Amino acid sequence: MKERPAELRERIDPGVCGLDTVVTAATEDSRHATFEFETGCEIIVGFERQIGEISPVDAIQTLSPEENPVLALARELLQTTGCCEACVVPVGTVKGMYVVANLALARDVSLTLSDEKSPAR
């Protein structure tokens, strides 16, 4: 029995750069994921191009002790372009892949930053 295709769209607000990104993760077999990006960030456009070269990504294989190939691509790209290595778009991309592969629940995530004068909510 063939599994039905799954698709997830996620809107990622990366913070201070203001370059919101929409990532669509899709799979036809609940294992191998492909991605599409809608963004104004040229670095993420390059990230999309690089992921396209290794897609479809085997979501189960990324759980191995080896470095996740999606995050490895992102780390190298962010380091070599001078962008902040803590960009949340690559992590959001992996989260979407895990959801469409039924390896994670489709729940929103959040990151709240604060300093000593204004506690996190």
Backbone angles phi, psi at 99, to 5 degrees: -65, -50
The reported pLDDT for the residue numbered 89 is 96
* Whether the Cβ atoms of residue 90 and residue 18 lie closer than 8 Å to each other: no
Confidence check: pLDDT of 94 > 90:
yes
Instruction: Render pLDDT for 6-49 as a digit per residue (tens, 0 to 9).
Output: 999 999 999 889 999 999 999 999 999 999 999 999 999 999 99
As to burial, measured by CB atoms within 10 angstroms (0-12 exposed, 13-18 middle, 19+ buried), residue 58 is middle
State the pTM of this model: 0.88
CATH numbers and ranges of domains, the chain: 6-100 (3.90.1010.10)
The reported pLDDT for the residue numbered 90 is 96
Strands 32-39 and 21-27: antiparallel
Instruction: Render pLDDT for 49-66 as a digit per residue (tens, 0 to 9).
Output: 999 999 999 999 999 999
